[in-house]
Amino acid sequence: SGKIFALEEHMQRFANSLTAIGIAGVDLDQIRRRVLKAFDTAGISNAKIYFHITRGSAPRSHACNVSLKPNFFLTATESDDDSEAKTKGIAVSTHPDWRWKRCDIKSLNLLANVLARQEAANKGCDEAILVDEKGFITEGAASAFFAIFGRTLQTTALTGNILPSITRIFVIRAGNNIELETMEKTLTPQQASDADELFIASTTNDIIPVVRFDEKLIGDGKPGKYTKLLIREFRSFTV
């Protein structure tokens, strides 16, 4: 609706990831200005802004040259229409979490995510829900994962196993606004399938109800009442 959602929170996570990877010399104020300029120039009120930075250009080597000049890439495009998914809900399938141990770093290392999402798509599902070697759900291939039991909102605690989702912050805030208790707890697929309601959340899609988890319908197979309330409450952060 004509403004960038949670820009400062995204910039802070970007800065944290740059530090973790060891990419130095990035002018964050300049990046912020480029993002704002791209948004204004595109003239798209419902825009999807994507940017990334690489360490720089150099001959292939596993040991990097720390003096490289970083390369920056940015696009601003029209957001996808997710109204049907919000209204009807989506199907998800579980998949082994093959990712590395620093998923808290926002990086381009997404091969495991892509393979999981493709397998989900091959099954006719819209998202892959990743399950670690201990049998616990971490998150979606491209989303945070939430379950509702009664009036309790459950999601995985922030560790190196999941991305510190910006949208997660606002989902929890929206939950507080409608008097849902938040519990950080890992769930098994069986526990998740027994939830009253499930949903995923991401910056580009906000909150999307999950109505089928693997082969099991969630609730009555329609978006749950608290998920619909959360979608409505979340809009106050984006309009």
Can you give the pLDDT of all 239 residues of the chain as single tens digits?
568 999 999 999 999 999 999 999 899 999 999 999 999 999 988 889 999 999 999 999 999 888 899 999 999 999 988 899 999 999 999 999 999 999 999 999 999 999 999 999 999 999 999 999 999 999 999 999 999 999 999 999 999 999 999 999 999 999 999 999 999 999 999 999 999 999 999 999 999 999 999 999 999 999 999 999 999 999 999 87
Annotated catalytic, 106? yes
> Domain 83-238 in CATH: superfamily?
D-amino Acid Aminotransferase, subunit A, domain 2 (3.20.10.10)
Against a cut of 0.85, is the pTM above it? yes
- Residues 165, 223 contacting (CB under 8 angstroms): no
Domains of the chain by residue range: 7-78, 83-238
Q: Out of 101, 106, 185, 228, pick the active-site residue.
A: 106
